[in-house]
Amino acid sequence: MRRSTEHQVLIFDADDTLWENNILFERVISDFLDWMNHPTLARAEVRGILDDIERANSVTHGYGTKMLLLSLRQCFEQLQERPASQEELETMTGLAVDLINHKVELMPDVPETLTVLGERHTLLLLSKGDAQEQQRKLEASRLALKFNDIYFVPEKTVDTYRTLIGRRGLDPERTWMIGNSPRSDIRPARLAGLNAVFIPHPHTWVLEHDDIDDADDRIITLRAFPDLLDHF
């Protein structure tokens, strides 16, 4: 695909597209598994139990640090068959200090790439999760002024994208959803009629995995974020 010279609308995911996210959660989970050091269950078995708890909690409690801490506590209590003590709760909270402090690690070349893209096209941010947590991460990233508009949503579904299309009067043929998650960024955007750019991340959360139609010519797969400049 040659670089588009026509004006486009580029909608960006945030977590694991603009900045690292899941790797920070994975560090917390790894430390939690080390701390648990369950006497009879293998590490992978404990992780499987935690994944199931997170999957259930994401439906009722959404995404983010609060949900992770709740899941860690529930996993601990399920495996220990007792409530966590105050000291144990404080230990689990301490494992997530970087998340609680909204530490942000930008992906390579993100600010520079957004600056150039913003001179050519309209840039929107569409981020899912706890709105306050996402806002604090955005502020820490110092990327807010790169976008023409910003939206925080609890979930990204086909209806989420259709609502955004209607609200802004977007032309789906000239609008692209850009992200790392097949489940949240690519499949629902395509089902809503948008184009999509998939930028895989090696640490995408397991609950965000899904199939992508390799034959779909309205999906572009890129190696890294700066490669967007070759297309837009």
In the predicted model, is pLDDT for residue 50 greater than 90?
yes
pLDDT band at 212 (very low <50, low <70, confident <90, very high): confident
In the predicted model, is pLDDT for residue 62 greater than 80?
no
pLDDT at 63: 78
In the predicted model, is pLDDT for residue 92 greater than 90?
yes
d(CA 179, CA 157): 14
Q: Can you list the domains of the chain with their CATH numbers?
A: 9-19+105-230 (3.40.50.1000), 23-100 (1.10.150)
Average pLDDT, the chain: 90
pLDDT at 31: 93
In the predicted model, is pLDDT for residue 100 greater than 90?
no
In b/e form, how buried is each residue of 185-207, taking b as 16+ CB within 10 angstroms?
bbbbbbebbbbbbbbebeebbee
In the predicted model, is pLDDT for residue 109 greater than 80?
yes
Share of the chain above pLDDT 90, in %: 66
pLDDT at 101: 79
In the predicted model, is pLDDT for residue 208 greater than 70?
no
pLDDT at 37: 87
In the predicted model, is pLDDT for residue 89 greater than 90?
yes
What mean pLDDT is predicted for residues 22-28? 84
pLDDT at 4: 67
**pLDDT digit string (tens) for 179-206?**
998 888 999 999 999 999 999 886 666 6
pLDDT at 10: 98
d(CA 210, CA 53): 19
What mean pLDDT is predicted for residues 144-156? 95
pLDDT at 167: 95
Question: Who's near 22: CB < 8 A, 6+ residues apart?
Answer: 15, 16, 201, 203, 204, 205
pLDDT at 176: 98
d(CA 111, CA 116): 9
DSSP assigned state of 9? E
d(CA 107, CA 127): 16
